[in-house]
Structures are given as C-alpha cells and as structure tokens.
Structure 1
C-alpha cells in the first residue's frame, strides 16, 4: 500500500490540520472558544472548532487577537503559500507573536494561545505552528487587511559613540573555596558562583564620506599602476602584501583601519576592482593599464566608478565571502557548493536601491529589511562544507550555526564595506570590529576570536548621490567639491613649494606625475614628465585645478603657458597604429604604385623607393598590386 504523502503548506486543508492533532491538542483549543458545548470525541472537538471558524464567529475570534497576533495572521494569509515565516516576521516587527506557553520547564507540550486556532502545524511530530489551512485562508482574506510593506527606517543623526559591553567574572572575596580530590589530584573549587561584572565602553564612531574620496582614489590607484607599482598573483589575481601596503599609503585618508590584526579593506579591494572593471590587466606579475584604464585617467571619475560597479556585480574574480577568513571550507567541494555571485549581488543591489539618498541607515536595520522583504539570498547550498577551526566540531551545518546573522550578514558587511564603500557608493560609520557582533560566540572554536570578520564594525551607511548615479536611480551626477588641504606657492620659475599643512601621499603622487621632487617641500614642473603624463592619458587640467585651489594667488603666466603648451604639444602627433614599410625595386615602381588608382588610397610614398601601408590594409594592398601586375613576397 502506497504511503500517503505529506500535504504541502499551500494545499493543507482543515482535514489535514485536524488529522495531525490529538484530542489532548484539541481540548485546550476548544476551551479558548468560551463555548458551553462539551465534546467528548475527536470528531466532536473538530466540529466545534470548525463551527467557530466561519462567518461572524470567525471575525469575533480575529478581533480577540492582540495586535502582533493579527499581524501574524495577516502576513501568513497574504503570503504566496499561506505559510507564517517566523524569521521574516521577527525581522519586520522585532518580535514573535504569542503562540502559547510551555506547560512546564522541561515539557515539550504547549498551552495554546488563540493564535493556534488560525495557524496550524503541517507535521505531526513538530509542534511549530506555521500554516493557515486553505479554507480558513479564503475566509480571512475577505476582511483581514493586507500587511504594510517592510519599512526601512533611517537615522536622523549619527551618535558620537557606540556602547560595547564587556562581561567578566570574578570570585567573591570571602569565598575560601572547597578542596576537591579527583584521583591523585586535588582542586580548589569555589563554593559560590562567580560574580558577573559588566563594563560599558563607549567607542567613538569613525565617519568616512566616500563620494569624493573614491573619485580621487581611483585616479591615484591608476597612476600607481601606470608606474608599475601594483603586483598581483597570477593565480588568484589578488594583490601582494607590499602592493596593499603601497596603495594604503597613497589613498585619501588611508585605509579604514591601521591595525594589522584587522587587515586591509580599501587597499585590497582596489586592485581587484580595476581588474573587474577592465581598467588594468596582468602583464607578468604586475598590473598594467588597459586602453580603457588610460581613458579613465582623463574621463569623469563618476562614469568610470559606475562602470566598475556594474562589472563587479557580474565578476567572478573574487567571492567576497572568501574574505571572512575565519570560516574555512570554501575550497574544493565547498567552493562548488557556493551560490552564484551575480545572483547574490543583484539582490543586495536591489535592496540598496530602496535606501533613501542622503540618509543614514543602521546596518542591522538594513539587514532586517532585507529579511522582511523579498531580498533573500543564500551564500551556500550546503553549509556542511563550512566550519570554524575544526571541520567536525565547528561545522556550520549544525542547527543554528548557519543562520542569517552568521552567513548572510557577514557577506553583506563585506560587500558593502569593502566594495560599495571603496567605490564611493555609500558613506560609512564604523568602529573597530572587536566585540561588536558577538552573535558567533556560541559557535564551537570561536572562543578565542575577537571578531568573526574585519567588517563587523560597520554600524551605519548612507547612500550618497554618487551611489544613486551608479545604481541607476539618477541619470545625472554633479560631483561635490573636494576639500583642499595643503597650501602651495606656485612661482614663475615653475617651482612649487608646500607652505602650509603637509601634503597627503595622494597629493604628492599627483605632483610627482608632472614635476621633479627637488627637496622635501619643493617641486619643479618638468616638461618631460608632463609630456609623458599626458601621453599616458592624464588630463593636465587636473594639475591646473589642483594648483589653483591651493594657491591664494593666480597662477603665474609662465605656469599657465607651461600647462597650455604641454597640453597642445603632447597631442600634436597621433599614433595611427602599426604600419608596413615596403621597399620597391626602384623609384619608377614606387612612383607607379603610389599614384595608381587601385593602390593610391592604400599607401603613402616614403622617400624614393619606399611605401608605407597600414598593417590592417596589407591584404587589400596585395590584391590591388596584382591588378598592376606586381607582387610582394610574404615575410
């Protein structure tokens, strides 16, 4: 005889739901109805309940539910399958409704609340209410209002600090303890439980406005690459430690963290981002600018940043979850079980589009908003491949070890902090990650970890106008002004002297692109360097704006002339590509070929006996030569 299949949530009927329940389950439910009827058999209990779950009696029962219980019913019946999603509900409302109370501390039975007449269990051996039977769902849809869409609350003003609790335990001073002998060893054990002490540390919140910083960092990194200063692995395409350190030294405001135990963020991301954006490619062990990378030196940074972001969303260069160093097992079979990167990123980008431009959002609020809405994604199809410290004891496949806060939140933190913020889409507010998100403490092997990921300290972020432009929310973008820092004096002899606050490393790198560094605070504009910079794709107008913004006096005429002459003369000759230099038998042949109607459009005379033909026109030129009765041996 074939076994009856378990009813699916969307097809669960009253009969299915009541068949799972016993008389002991039904009796307390009937008592909630406040009826004078006294059923004895199961069929009688079921009949009483069914009678109260229709018409005006059903509406009266609904009105007896408290607000959170009513919301639970509403969320369930308006879902696609009539299922109550606990995780989604708690993320949206911050709490779960009252389904009932345990009858005893160690008991598995539950004294049901009124909500258990609306939402039922779909399995016999799991007393977790999760489904509204289909008949009841249809009745409720006639009068129960549709739930409001999840809201993304914003923060009016960033707090100055974040409170972190440090818990410690100490023995009572008057506790002399008791001597316990085990085998040949004796132990001094306390008589009283240790005293719990909680210390609150108020950590100053660091705020980074990334919109203009990212535009400047992009140009800085491209210049560094153009100088051959970026080394990456030919297998992973990830930057070397020396490259990460070199990039961090020239980024505006440096990297997010200085502590080597936390590690790099922006400086690690930039080499990968420019590769994904096709601005740089590997040549040997070093990155070199592509044609697009050279164009980016003179193009508006916002357009380049938007292109890089869009290409990063589809890139397979790096799975950001790999950056959660403490979670092992992401190689081999574990790698094959990881979900598609493009799918994850697209969902997160869609949720990012819901953030109001210019308003700060708590990361935890954003995460709950994603869970409450339709922004669900998985990091892996099989968490049993992932583990902390030990693949057996610390396996994340265990229940409670791979929930959203452990996997999805850590992936979200990395994508937002290391990539969206680095590209300038969001501004960030954060602290050191130590102890910020202790929700991993119960995982086996995590006792000695200060944090699960270096991104745990991200507290708030803000979608800025550049982010709105990169996400396609706006079609136009007007960059904000970047604050000028160091003061300069630009002299008629082409010398540039730093006269105020010391220049930042990225500012010095800009000057070094066009000028010779003569002493600690003095540069002199170099015609050779300036010509090379413009040849490489740099826009010398950038130098002009940089000098003008840092010198209170107008630029000297000699400097203005230097800049305009360099820009004009650096572009006086244009490389039209590779050409063939062809030697003719004599001047008469050269003359005939250079002036014949068939060959004239394809070549140019170069001296008495030579012709020049563009490389891509070689085959058409050969065919035209044949009409003249001439041939040219192939090399």
Structure 2
C-alpha cells in the first residue's frame, strides 16, 4: 500500500485498522497469525487485540530491525505519536521500511497507487501511515526509550580532493567521467579581522559606491573591496563561468558582502553616490576588530534590509513570491551552527540534515509558485513539494554560510568552484544548461572557529591570535617607510592614510598627515600597531618617540561641544551672570564683556537672565 501523508486524527488501534481496506488488512493479518481470518469484521478485532496487548507489542517491537525501532521510538516520543517522514530521513539518513524489498509475490499486485510488496512488521504500528494508534502509543511509552538526539557527524579535516562527475557525449553515446578537484580551505577569523578595517578605510576614502535602490555595491566598488581583502575573495576571476547567463558568471562573494554588511551594521550609510562612515563607523576604525565583527554579526542576524536569497540570481520572481522574513531564517541557521561542535569539520549535507532533523524548518517564499527558472510557465517551481528542499531552503543556507558567516569569520570553509558540484536542480526546466544553481554551490565543509564560537555565544571569551610580523616594511630612523617588495593593497591604503609618498615604494611619516587622520577619528595607536606588525626588526626609537609626542598632543584638545558667545553692555553685567549661583558653571567669562554659554545650557541661562531683568537675545534666523 502506498505510504501517503495523513492528517492527525486521534484513533485507537481498532479505529485505525477499521479504516483500512480488506486488501490492506489481509497482509497485516498474516504477520500476526498462522491461519488468519479472511473477513474484515474478523481481521480488525484480531489486529486491535494484538496491538493493545503489551506482551505482543513488546514481542513485535523486539523483532523489528534497528531502523524500524528508531521509527517507533521517534513516534512514541511525539506528543501525537507522529512519525515525521522528512525529519526522520534527515535524522537517520534513510526512510523507514514499510514494505519488504524485492518484487511482489504473484497475486499481490494491489493495483494503481498501491504497494506491490508485502508489508514489514513496522506497518502494524502505523496502520494510518503517519501516526501510532493512541492505545498502542500508551503501551510503547511504558518501555520504549526516547530516540537518541541527532549529532552532526564531524571529522578532523576536510577531504583533500572532491570528485566531480561529468556526462561526456561521444559518437556511441554518453559516458560519465570523473574529475578530481583540489579542495580549497580558508581559515576566516584572522582574515575577517583584517578585512573589516580595510573595508572601513575604503569607505572613509569615499571609494565604495552603491546603487540607489538596493544599496548594493557597484562593480567598481566590488573590485575595490576585492583589492584590499586579506587573501582576496574566495574565488578568483578565472573561476567564473564563461557564459554570462550562468549563475557562476559573477563569482564575487566577500567583495559583495562587505559593503552590505557595514551598512546593515550601522557603520556606513549612503551619502550621494558613495558610502560614508557613520559616527559608529569612525569609532570602529580604532576599536578591536573582533568587537566590530561581533556587532556586525548581531546586526546582520536582525536586519530586514537585505536577504541572502536575493543573491540566488537564477531563481526569478522573488518580488512576487511574498518572501519570508530573512531574519527569522538566519536565526534558525545560526542556532544550528551554535549546536555544532566548535573546532570540528562537518559537511554541508550533514548540516542540512541537522536543520531538518532538529525541526529547524523554515519557508523561504510564502508563494513559492511565483518563483521560476528561466521562464515563468515551464520553469515554475510549483506548489508545496514540487520543488526540492535544497533548491530553496538549501540555497539560502549555502548563501548565508558562505557569503555572510564566512565573510564575518564565523566559520572556516572548504570548497571548490561551484560548477558541476550539486545535481539537485538538473531536473528543472530551464536549468539544464546551468553549471550550478548558485555561486555558493561549491561549499563542501565548514568548521565553527574560536571567533565563531564567541560570536554564536557558545563561549564567553575570544582571544585574537597575535598578529604575525610580516617583515614587508623597513622603518628608518628618518621616518621613511620602505616596502621590501610588492605590498598588499590593504597595506598600501593604510600607508597612504598616515604618510606621504616620497618615491616608488617609499613613504614619509608626516605629523600633519597623521594628525589629520586623528582629527577624522583615527588614532596614532593604529599606525604604531601597523608598523610593529609589518616592520623587519624593531621600529627605531626616533620613530616611536615621534609617535608618542603626536599621541600626547592629539589628546590635549577635546571638543566640548557647540556654544554661544554673548556680548554684554559692560563688564558688570558679565560678572553678574558669571557669578550667579543659579548659573554656576553655565556662564564662562570670555574677556571683560563677553560670556560663553554651551548650547545645551541656553534655555536654563535664558530663564535666569530674564529673572535678573535682562532681555536675552533671540538667535538670528
């Protein structure tokens, strides 16, 4: 009999078996009696007696294979006795077996839509497919242990290579050929700490432009970001597909993500055509990078302004599909990441299993039938289960992990180019020419790193790795900074902020340039740390003394806020206002006839002056 989905209905064993046809009941009766009755009126009471007898239920349970026992354990633990088939398959890796394998015996062909194989004993526990009978469930709960919690399988290291399969056509037909692709591994925490500062410096320099409506980076902005990333983007331009219609034609990931992330985190905002730093962004330039990443991660989980699924360009119609809130989807995926053991690698497929086995299900589009590939009529994704989970939920998860979590340093990633990796979309109309469904299809394995564990809240502290001395610069006593070779773009950008170019590969530290950076929210400490981590040898004493003097001068003046200068008719009035006990600290003498009042104190000073008989001047405009 076909194992179809049924709605919940609290039925006893007699009621549940009573809803089956005679063709369904006879094979079940053969499982419990050597000479079973042949009439429905006799079979239903027989099966009900067996499945409400504790001894017989125990005997049948003990005779089940391990996978079938797991199915009973899962259903017995459910409040309604339900066996969620999709969840079970994700949990245990395969569906429960309700029918015996192999061809049906002669005479057992039940007709269209019905199983042609005899049932397994597990069918006795689930006469109505998805639910245990209530009285059978009560018996099972007395002795059946709860199911083991799902634990994502982990390994010490990702595989060194990944096998790709390609269908190659010859004169005599097609042959499936194998290709071994080296797996690339990126440890993202230290990269993210360097990248966030480099991107904020780009914003500060006015070099990141975004589009007017969607606020996403322009192609020039992506190239600028890619040029300052530590280690570059995940993929190089050579990894892109040749066809401009393929989803992997645009292979940028980090370069797209950073301008979006700093906007969502409140560190940058659009001003004209380009992004500019907010007050929080200026502070972030000198804050510990890990703290900045933590704020960005928390803000990204909640933002409604952007949706990773919008980056799955091959799936059209998202504007009409009533997309669910991305923040709710992100929370479920982040919760699942927090449930994974830090420091251990696990596959994307097993992470998919974790989401589904633990009930972290979500809907990407409330009107999935509005989504399509290539052409709306033929390429429509359809209703309910007409599309695979991996095509919608799975692609959102891949985009979130690869473009958001990995960019922010939450997870380390192992991956290959996306072309030809996943085959869960080839059956869809219009996708047969695609080499992938998204640029994220190449993600194979991931690992929650120490920074990620801290960001996810599974550990209380994070200690960044000490910056390694790169030795790419020579700092001379005359305040010249000389590059020992080609510098990363991020290093050149930093030197350009604090020093004047003197010649090719040489910069001169300038007090005016450094104080100008400090005036805009930078710090001398940032420059000092930069030089110390990149200098070949110790920074000369003359330079450290020079920087110490600048640091001291930079902190001696503080902006106390705007104020108003008030001219008095004579020095006696100025003295009276400055000495009034009600205005203590609010009116400051400025020469003989002037007083200075902070903007924040104007209302209070005006009231006291009026009581003293003076008319306070009305501000112009």
Q: TM (normalized to structure 2)? A: 0.92
Q: Who is 2:398 aligned against? A: 413
Q: Is residue 430 from structure 1 mapped to residue 393 from structure 2 by the alignment? A: no
Q: 2:580 matched to 1:575?
A: no
**Per-residue deviation, 1:132:** 1.2
Q: For the structure 1 residues 89 and 570, does the alpha-carbon distance in structure 2 shift closer, same or farther, using more than 3 Å as the test? A: same
Matched residue, 1:319: 307
TM alignment of 1:405-554, pairs within 5 A: 405-500=390-485, 502-554=486-538
Report the alpha carbon displacement of residue 300 of structure 1 after superposing the two structures with TM. Answer: 1.3
- In 1, the alpha carbon distance for the partners of 2:110 and 2:17 equals 27
2:372 is paired with a residue of what secondary structure?
coil
2:564 partner SS: strand
- The answer for unaligned runs of 5 or more in structure 1 is 1-5, 122-128, 173-194
Q: Give the corresponding residue for 1:247.
A: 225
Q: Is the 8 A contact 1:581 1:613 kept in 2?
A: yes
Structure 1 Cα separation of the partners of residues 11 and 214 of structure 2:
50
* Contact 1:280 1:288 (8 Å CA) reproduced: yes
Residues 228-258 of structure 1 show CA distances to partners (whole Å, capped at 9, x for unaligned) of 1122233222222211111111111111122
TM-fit CA distance, 1:479: 0.3
Alpha-carbon separation, structure 2, partners of 1:535 and 1:414: 39
Specify whether residues 606 and 87 from structure 1 end up closer, same or farther in structure 2 by C-alpha distance, changes over 3 A only: same
User: In structure 1, the residue corresponding to 2:266 is in which secondary structure?
Assistant: coil
Contact 2:208 2:274 in 1 (8 A): yes
User: Does 2:349 match 1:351?
Assistant: no
Q: Distance in 1 between matches of 2:120 and 2:174?
A: 36
Query: Which digits, 9 at most, give the CA deviation of each residue in 1:386-444, with x for residues without a partner?
Result: 11112221111246443321111111111111111111111111111001111011111
Structure 1 residue corresponding to 2:606, chosen from 595, 598, 622: 622
Gaps of 5+ in 2: 241-248
- Which secondary structure does the structure 1 equivalent of 2:582 belong to? coil
Cα deviation digits, residues 180-228 of structure 1 (max 9, x gap): xxxxxxxxxxxxxxx3311111111111111111111111111111111
Among 278, 300, 312, the residue aligned to 2:266: 278
Going from structure 1 to structure 2, the CA distance change for 1:93 and 1:300 (only over 3 Å counts) comes to same
Give aligned pairs, total.
596
Distance 1:210 1:536 in 2: 29
Q: Aligned residue for 1:154?
A: 154
Alignment of 1:556-575 (within 5 A): 556-575=540-559
Q: Where does residue 576 of structure 2 map in the other structure?
A: 592
CA deviation profile, 1:274-312 (whole Å, cap 9, x unmatched) = 122111222222222122111112211111211111111
Q: Is the 8 A contact 2:185 2:413 kept in 1?
A: yes
CA distance in 1 between counterparts of 2:401 and 2:469 reads 28
User: Which deviations, in whole Å up to 9, do the C-alpha atoms of 1:100-122 show, x marking residues without a partner?
Assistant: 1574698422232221111133x
Structure 1 distance, partners of 2:308, 2:453, is: 22
Query: 2:207 aligned with 1:229, yes or no?
Result: yes
1:34 Cα offset (Å): 3.9
C-alpha displacement at 1:600, in angstroms? 4.7
Distance 1:197 1:484 in 2: 52
The answer (yes or no) to whether the contact 1:272–1:317 under 8 Å persists in 2 is no
Q: Secondary structure at the match of 1:198?
A: strand
CA contact (8 A) 2:11 2:133 kept: yes
**Distance in 1 separating the partners of 2:433 and 2:7:** 44
Query: 1:593 aligns to what SS in structure 2?
Result: helix
Greater shift in the superposed pair: 90-99 or 578-587: 578-587
Q: In the alignment, does 2:109 pair up with 1:109? A: no
Give the equivalent residue in structure 2 for 1:92: 91
Partner of 1:44: 42
Instruction: Please list the CA deviations of residues 296-355 of structure 1 after superposition, one character each: whole Å capped at 9, or x if unmatched.
Output: 122111112111111111111101111111111111x32xx2222222111111111111
- Cα distance in structure 1, aligned partners of 2:57 and 2:25: 17
Query: In structure 2, what is the Cα distance between the partners aligned to 1:7 and 1:247?
Result: 53
Q: In structure 1, what is the equivalent of residue 389 of structure 2?
A: 404
Q: For the Cα contact (< 8 Å) 2:17–2:47, is it kept in 1?
A: no
The structural deviation recorded for 1:530 is: 0.8
Equivalence map 1:264-343=2 (5 Å): 264-331=252-319, 333-334=320-321, 337-343=322-328
Contact 2:499 2:510 in 1 (8 A): yes
Measured in 1, the distance between the counterparts of 2:292 and 2:412 equals 18
Q: Per-residue displacement from partner, 1:600-628 (whole Å, max 9, x unpaired)?
A: 52122223433221112111111111122
Seen in structure 2, the aligned counterparts of structure 1 residues 521 and 11 have a Cα distance that, compared at 3 Å, is same
Q: Which moved more, 1:589-598 or 1:90-99?
A: 589-598
Q: Secondary structure at the match of 1:406?
A: helix
Query: What is the alpha-carbon root mean square deviation over aligned residues?
Result: 2.0
Once residues 425 and 111 of structure 2 are traced to their aligned partners in structure 1, the CA distance between those partners, rounded to angstroms, is: 26
Q: Deviations over 1:337-379 (max 9, x none)?
A: 2222222111111111111111111111111111111322221
Counterpart CA distance in 1 for 2:212 and 2:555 is: 35
Distance in 1 of aligned mates of 2:282 and 2:110 = 70
The 2-side partners of 1:10 and 1:197 are apart by 51
Shift, 1:536, TM fit:
2.5
With 26-35 and 484-493 compared, the bigger mean Cα shift is at 484-493
TM-score (norm 1): 0.90
Within 2, Cα distance between the matches of 1:279 and 1:120? 59
